[in-house]
């Protein structure tokens, strides 16, 4: 029914031909083969190994106090960091899109730094900054706030790695948003704050949620930046990915596999959640 849709959609739907453009079979064949070799078969190996262990043993491993503590820290820290990023990400996106200030485009570019900067480098830099004598840590220590080598350090590291997600999901929506809506709200007597909360915010919620989920997924699996700042104390500042590495170093492949399977399942769930949010918001607002 493409001709009918054409008339109503602002941007034309493109017709797709299966037979006329060449190379579909070759392209898809290569895509599927490469995907299977690099991603699917290796991931299947993990499930195969876990199945070989038996789900009973997987359960026993992941419910030991040390593993449970690691999972609790990973999930809590990832949640807190993503929540922090949801708030500040929204703020940063708003300021970048709506306000003009010196060096704005430099700041805009800098937001991507955590995407480009290797996590290990981020880890040592944050540790140096937030340790007791560090540039930031020295101001926090007198207040009794310990960041480096404490659970708070994990949150700081995860905030860093997850920082760009919310900004980058919210920014395009905000740029595409018609300010007439806000003006309409104002003309109807809404104060600036009410207009923002009732008119602007609802439009940004799907993007904020998507960004939150992306940051959460990233934070959950993050390893490089955390191992330096957390101190890696069992039961206190040890995150789940680190525990996998520890088990591997002790040649406890079964233990590592058990934890990894749980982590992978969490990744899958988050990926589905993200796709779900985007699907819903596309239906509702016609954009993701």
Partner 1 sequence: MMDERRIVRILLTTLALGFLGLFLVVPLVLVFAQAFSAGLGAYVAAIAQPDALSAIRLSLIVALITVPLNTIFGLAAGWSIGKFDFRGKGLLVTLIELPVAVSPVVSGLVFVLLFGAQGLAGGWLAARGIEVIFAVPGIVLATTFVTFPYVARELIAFMQSQGNEAEEAALVLGAGGVQTFLRVTLPNIKWSLLYGVIQANARTLGEFGAVSVVSGHIRGETNTIPLHVEILYNEYSFAAAFSVASLLVVVALLTLAAKRAVGWRAARRRAAAERAAIHRETGWADRPSARTSSLPGGRPAAKVTTVEV
Partner 2 sequence: MNVEAANVSKRFGVYTALDDVSLEVPAGSLLALLGPSGSGKTTLLRVIAGLEVPDSGRIVIGGEDVTRRPPRQRNVGLVFQHYALFGHMSVFENVAFGLRVRGLPQREVQERVEELLAYVQLEGLGCRFPAELSGGQRQRVALARALAIRPKVLLLDEPFGALDAKVRVELRQSLRRLHEEMHLTSIFVTHDQEEAFEVADEVVVMNRGRIEQVGAPHHLFQCPANAFVADFLGDVNVLHGCVSCGRASFGGLEIPYPEYPGETPLPATAYLRNHEMELRRTGNGEMHVAVRIAHAKNTGPAVKLMLIAQPCRSTLHLELRPEEWERLGLAIGDTAYIVPRRLSVFVTEGPATQTTLGKE
* Shortest separation between residue 172's beta carbon and partner 2, angstroms: 23
- Which positions touch partner 2 (CB under 8 A)? 1-4, 6-7, 12, 17, 19-20
Do the beta carbons of residue 138 and residue 132 sit within 8 Å? yes
State how far the Cα of 243 lies from the Cα of 237, in Å rounded to an integer.
11
Residue number with CB closer to partner 2 (1 or 143): 1
Question: b/e string for 127-140 if b means 16 or more Cβ within 10 A?
Answer: bbbbbeebeebeeb
Q: Is 14 in the site for partner 1 (CB under 8 A)?
A: yes
Residues 189-228 vs partner 1: string with x where CB under 8 A? ---x--x---------------------xx-xxxxx---x
Q: Is 142 in the site for partner 1 (CB under 8 A)?
A: no
* Shortest separation between residue 11's beta carbon and partner 2, angstroms: 11
Which residue, among 235, 241, 233, has the nearest Cα to 266 in the 3D structure?
241
Q: Name the 3-class secondary structure at 17.
A: coil
* Shortest separation between residue 1's beta carbon and partner 2, angstroms: 5
Q: Is 252 in the site for partner 1 (CB under 8 A)?
A: no
Q: Name residues contacting partner 1, limited to 71-100 (CB under 8 A).
A: 88, 91-92, 94-96, 98-99
Residue 67, sorted as left (phi over 0), alpha (psi -120 to 50) or beta, turns out to be alpha
Q: Is 268 in the site for partner 1 (CB under 8 A)?
A: yes
Residue 94 has, within 13 A of its CA and on its CB side, a CA count of: 12
Reading the block at residue 13, the tokens are: 């739907």
* Shortest separation between residue 30's beta carbon and partner 2, angstroms: 22
Q: Which does 76 bind (CB under 5 to 8 A by kind): partner 2, partner 1, none?
A: none
Q: Is 17 in the site for partner 1 (CB under 8 A)?
A: yes
Q: Both ends of the chain: CA-CA distance in Å?
A: 23
Indicate if the alpha-carbon torsion angle 98, 213, 218, 70 is positive or negative: positive
Q: Which does 115 bind (CB under 5 to 8 A by kind): partner 1, partner 2, none?
A: partner 1
């Amino acid at each position: 029914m493409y001709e009918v849709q054409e008339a109503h959609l602002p941007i034309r739907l493109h017709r797709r031909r299966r037979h006329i453009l060449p190379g579909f079979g070759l392209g898809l064949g290569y895509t599927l083969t490469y995907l299977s070799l690099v991603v699917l078969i290796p991931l299947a190996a993990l499930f195969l190994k876990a199945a070989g262990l038996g789900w009973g043993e997987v359960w026993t491993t992941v419910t030991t106090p040390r593993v449970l503590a690691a999972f609790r820290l990973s999930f809590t820290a990832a949640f807190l960091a993503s929540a922090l990023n949801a708030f500040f990400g929204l703020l940063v996106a708003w300021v970048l899109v709506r306000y003009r200030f010196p060096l704005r485009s430099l700041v805009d570019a800098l937001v991507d730094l955590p995407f480009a900067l290797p996590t290990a480098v981020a880890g040592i830099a944050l540790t140096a900054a937030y340790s007791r004598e560090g540039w930031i840590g020295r101001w926090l220590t007198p207040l009794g706030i310990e960041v480096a080598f404490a659970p708070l350090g994990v949150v700081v590291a995860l905030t860093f790695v997850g920082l760009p997600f919310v900004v980058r999901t919210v920014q395009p929506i905000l740029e595409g948003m018609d300010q007439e809506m806000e003006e309409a709200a104002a003309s109807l007597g809404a104060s600036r704050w009410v207009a923002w909360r009732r008119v602007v915010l609802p439009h940004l919620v799907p993007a904020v949620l998507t960004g939150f989920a992306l940051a959460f997924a990233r934070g959950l699996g993050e390893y490089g930046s955390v191992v330096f700042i957390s101190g890696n104390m069992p039961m206190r500042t040890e995150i789940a990915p680190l525990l996998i590495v520890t088990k591997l170093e002790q040649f406890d492949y079964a233990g590592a596999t058990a934890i990894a399977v749980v982590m992978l399942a969490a990744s899958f769930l988050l990926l589905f959640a993200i796709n779900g949010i985007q699907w819903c918001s596309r239906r509702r607002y016609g954009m993701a």
